[in-house]
Structure formats: C-alpha cells, structure tokens
Amino acid sequence: MTKNINVEQIVQPPVERQKIELVERKGIGHPDSLTDGIAESISCALCQEYTKHVGVVLHHNTDETQIVAGRSVPAFGGGEIIQPIYVLLSGRATRIFNEVEIPIDIVAIKTAREYLDKALLNLDVNNHTIIDCKIGTGSPDLQDVFHRTAPCANDTSFGVGYAPFSETEKIVYNTERFLMDLRKKIPAIGEDIKVMAMRDVDEINLTVACAMVGRYLDDLDHYVETKKEIVQEIEANASLHTTRKVNVQMNVADDPKTGSVYLTVSGTSAEMGDDGSVGRGNRANGLITVNRPMSMEATSGKNPIRHVGKLYNLLSTQIANQIVEEVEGIEEVYIRILSQIGVPIDDPHMLSVQTVLKDGANPARIESEAEAIANTWLDNILVIQEKLMKGEIATF
C-alpha cells in the first residue's frame, strides 16, 4: 500500500557549492557523547533483558542520563582525580510484567560501567565514577507490550535526514575516528575530542580540541611536540580526502608560556569541568550540521519500538542514503518524516522527499524511484527496530 509520500524537486545551491559551511562532531569521550552512549547502551541492554525474562520488549526510555563533572589535578607523568565523576541514570522503564520483576537498576548500572570502561581507556571506572540509578516507572498509558507488528507512534514528532555527506562533513566525521585509531601510535590522545570545521569556499579550517592524557607526556616540551605531531597527522589524513587546502589548529586555548594546556588524567573533560546531557551533542548521523536541517530530538536512549523521535531520524537517513546510491541524477536529497500520536509508525502523516537534481536529470523517473524506495523502507520499518535493539545502528 502506498503511504503518504511526497516527492518534490527543490532549487537551491548544494552545500558543496555554498560559500560557507560549518560542521561539528563531538567525539566519544565528550561528556555529551558519553551520556548518549550510556543511554543507548542501557536501552539495548533492557531490550535484551525484557526479551529474556518475558519474551517481549517493554516500554522504556533512558534518554535523561546526566553527567556531573568531577575534579582532578592533571600533571605531566600522571595526575590524580580527587572527586569522582557523577553519572545519573534517569528516565522510565517497566519494572513488572505479568508478576515478573525485571532487575532494571542492576542492568542499568552494570551496562553504564561497562560502557565507560570501554569508551575511556584511562579512566578507573570503579574508583573514579559514581553511578546513581534513578530510573522510574512509566505512566500506565505508556506501558505497552511491544510485539513484532508495527506499533503506534508515541508522539507527534518528526525526523530528518539527508545524503550524501559533503566533503567537509566526511572529513570532520573521519578526523575524530582517525584520532581514535591514532591512539595506538600516540597514547596521549584522549577520547574527548571535538572537531569543528569551517569551509570558506575551497579552504577547510579544522579547529580540534583534544584532551591530552598526562601520564604519557613527560613535560611541557613533550606536550608541545606531541601536539605538533598530531596536527601534522590530521593534516596528512585530511589531505587524502580532498584537493582543497586544509588548515588544522589544535587546543587553541593553550598558553605554553604560562604552562596552561589541555591536560587531563583520564582523557575526558568530564573529570574536571564539563557536564554532559543526552541530546546535546551529535545528531543521529554523527554530526552537527548548521547548513542542513536538523531535529532537536535526543535520539539515544529512547525506546527503539515506537519512539518516532528516534526511529524517524534514523529511518530518514537510511532512506536518503539509499536514494542517493540507487537513483541517478540526484545531487542531494532531504527526507522529513512526520508522525501522529497513536497512528502506526509505518504510516506517517507525511514522508517528504526533497531532491536537488543534476543538470539534465529526469524528474518524473526520479520521483517514481525515490517514492518506491521510501515506501519499501516504511513497509520494512521493523528492520530499523531490530538493528537498534542489537546495537547495530549508531545513534550519535
């Protein structure tokens, strides 16, 4: 059955041909990303726990996780955390179903510890974090049983997606991932990284904030030399993916003359000054993109069954990517999906496909092929749910 799908051509300069482009990514060790990762990991764990105990996924949302920064005394060759990072696990989850009680708190705390231990290589999770679980019980009208049929939307909300990534977007996303790999060579690189790009016509300026781990640095001179090496590595890697000029600056607030540099004990600013909240970081595609439409919904931690604030942002990105890959003649595509509360999630109030076409493209053919792809995804929306429950789709 054909759904409420509208395909239209829009006339606007593609992002690649706009003069100024701004793109940001917060790395996995940024406090906002840490909360996203914890919240999403707990949601996945609860899906598995519900299935194990009662055979179905029950209502839950864990997207209210918060991090309150601790205090630390960084130092070359070591340093010390003197006040632990406080992690508040909040949200709602069904605790009892058919007289079976689910160990929500135990699962959530265990999952949060495991996630932090995996994400932050230099943090002593047992001694340097306090994990407090205050996950409540959902309201009765939301405590549905989620079976393997298309459930009804929990809210009137929308999701957005686009494709393809611009060259600058690819560089920003991959620079953070590149630095995570570079830790093998330069272990002083911490996981708390932020990459901000400003492209001015054909010149890409990258401003990188990277928490440096003191135990791997002998002194200030060693810090300065390591920073130079990292900048050179970023420039060399970025230049492999563009013919544009790339300028890289790192930890621009450093003042070596006074000894004030971005030094940490654990590799994250959460140890000494930066708090974190779910939904304040990367959007569902892993970037923050000023030149593109974005949803303000927090994707991580929302239940993957009928929470359209999660599903539609991820679904729209999947649709956009497939359309660009398979339909010839499209330069850019933008997807917007709007739900109505209480209506099945595979039957949105509107799925809008906006295309920026290449010269000489056939609009009628593109409209038909794009609509078919969008309709197929709606018919198979449960695929997104299954992948999310297994942790197979990144949400930040």
Weakest-pLDDT range from 37-41, 191-195, 303-307: 303-307
pLDDT at 25 over 80: yes
With a cut of 80, say whether residue 33 has pLDDT above it.
yes
Is the pLDDT at 76 greater than 60? The verdict is: yes
CATH assignment of 31-146? 3.30.300.10
Give the per-residue pLDDT at 248: 98
Mean pLDDT on 294-307: 92
Backbone angles phi, psi at 214, to 5 degrees: -60, -30
The predicted-structure confidence for 203-226, as pLDDT tens digits, reads as follows 999 999 999 999 999 999 999 999
Q: Residues 6 or more apart from 67 whose CB is under 8 A from it? A: 31, 34, 35, 85, 86, 87, 88, 270, 275, 276, 277
Q: Is 234 helix (H, G, I), strand (E, B) or coil?
A: helix
Residue 137, pLDDT score: 87
Average pLDDT over residues 314-337: 97
pLDDT at residue 146 tops 80: no
Quote the pLDDT of residue 189. 98
pLDDT at 143: 53
- 240 Cβ contact list (under 8 Å, min separation 6): none
In the prediction, which pLDDT does 175 show?
A: 98
Using DSSP, state whether 305 is helix, strand or coil: coil
Report the pLDDT averaged over residues 104-109. 98
Phi and psi at 216, nearest 5°, equal -100, 5
pLDDT at 144: 55
| Domain map (residue ranges) of the chain | 5-16+155-166+286-389, 31-146, 167-277
What pLDDT does residue 331 have? 97
pLDDT in tens, 313-323: 999 999 999 99
pLDDT score of 142 more than 80: no
> How is residue 302 annotated by DSSP?
B
**What is the strand order of the sheet 350-357 is part of?**
5-9, 350-357, 330-338, 158-163
Q: What is the pLDDT of residue 215?
A: 97
Per-residue pLDDT, averaged over 186-196, amounts to 98
Q: What percent of the chain has pLDDT over 90?
A: 93
Residue 200, pLDDT above cutoff 70:
yes
pLDDT of 348-389, one tens digit each? 999 999 999 999 999 999 999 999 999 999 999 999 999 999
Q: 5-16+155-166+286-389 adopts what CATH topology?
A: GMP Synthetase; Chain A, domain 3 (3.30.300)
Residue 1: band (very low, low, confident or very high) from pLDDT cuts 50, 70, 90: low
Residue 150 confidence (pLDDT): 78
Q: Do domains 5-16+155-166+286-389 and 167-277 have the same CATH topology?
A: yes
- Could you tell me the fold of the domain covering 167-277? GMP Synthetase; Chain A, domain 3 (3.30.300)
Q: Which residue has the tokens 């000894």?
A: 259
**Mean pLDDT on 174-198:** 98
Q: Tell me if the bond preceding 140 is cis, omega within 30° of 0.
A: no
Given a cut of 60, is residue 141 above it in pLDDT? no
Q: Could you give the percent of the chain with pLDDT greater than 70?
A: 96
Q: How many residues does the chain have?
A: 396
pTM: 0.94
Predicted confidence (pLDDT) at residue 3 exceeds the cutoff of 90: no
Query: Mean pLDDT, the chain, as a whole number?
Result: 95
pLDDT-based confidence at residue 273 (cuts at 50, 70, 90):
confident
Output the six-digit token pair for 171. Answer: 């560089």
Residue 140 clears pLDDT 60, i.e. is over it? no
Q: What are phi and psi of 215, to 5 degrees?
A: -65, -20
